[in-house]
Amino acid sequence: MTEPTKEAIEETKKVLGVMKEGLGDAKFEEEKKQGAIRRILHLYRDTKIILPRNKFADGIEKLVQRIDPHNTMSERELVKKIVLASPEFMDGIWDALQTGTFVSEPDLKKYAEQYHKLLKSSITDTTAATWDAIEYFQQQLMSILNLSNVGKFSALVKQLIDEDPKCPYVVKKFWETIAALQEKAQAKIPTDQQEKLAEEIMGLVDEKLEKDRPDIFRALVNSLKWRPQAELDSTLASVKKTPLKTRKTGWLKRTKGRGNIRGRESCIFIEHADGIQYVG
């Protein structure tokens, strides 16, 4: 049994949260959307904001100023008010975050240039101020970049460092190390084949889950797909030879499946003919 990844742990938390609270599909998706937008609003209300502006900045600031001019609401309260006031604008932000278009190519280049300058300054700064700024910058970036954006951002920073004749050698070596770590992490990202195997496994374990609770089904698949290809192949073979049974479940009245889904010690497992398979 492999150790769970951070991604698997996060997906498990989502699953357990849905099971515990009994959220419906629409409400669950809406909560995810509002959570992402709350992080965006937090950035634009933060007096220490250092990210360059993008195409959504003016619209966000105007809405916030109109609805909460004295900055007294929490992000949660503010999002609910903004969704009522301008649902189309909020949907546009959510779609952009999902598709990686919240940050445009020119924006990404500006971010890379700013980050490059911070890295160079960190070498000569005698205080922790620049490193604090770098960490703060990275935290903000993680709120607005998706996986493809992160790869592009890293490549742009590397290009700026390589093309800068005055860039300190230690910065170049530092970024080479970061790039190597990123390359290793990229190699571990699940393939389409791994995702299809995870979908097939969960579809066999519980035939009704995808239709009746697509939120739980997708969270389980997203966690399971991080298992190595060989492990997924083995699990699929074990599930296929597990007898098909009709059973009662906690969130569905009755369902059919080859095996069972069990939750214990804050983790999710599949029980099949060959034993127990950790999901997340």
pLDDT at position 277 over 70 = no
Give tens-digit pLDDT for 98-114.
Answer: 777 888 888 889 888 98
pLDDT attached to residue 264 = 52
pLDDT attached to residue 91 = 83
Distance between CA 14 and CA 216 in Å, rounded? 8
Give tens-digit pLDDT for 177-196.
Answer: 877 777 776 667 777 888 88
pLDDT at position 55 over 60 = yes
Q: What DSSP string describes 128-191?
A: SHHHHHHHHHHHHHHHH--HHHHHHHHHHHHHHHHH-TTS-HHHHHHHHHHHHHHHHHHHTSPP
pTM across the whole model: 0.55
pLDDT attached to residue 224 = 82
Read off the pLDDT of each residue in 135-154 and give the average, rounded to a whole number. Answer: 79
> Domain map of the chain by residue range?
24-99, 105-187, 192-278
pLDDT attached to residue 163 = 92
Read off the pLDDT of each residue in 79-90 and give the average, rounded to a whole number. Answer: 82
12 burial type by CB count under 10 A (0-12 exposed, 13-18 middle, 19+ buried): buried
Q: Please, what is the average pLDDT of the chain?
A: 76
pLDDT at position 268 over 70 = no
pLDDT attached to residue 161 = 92
C-alpha distance from residue 176 to each of 89, 169, 181 (Å) = 40, 11, 9
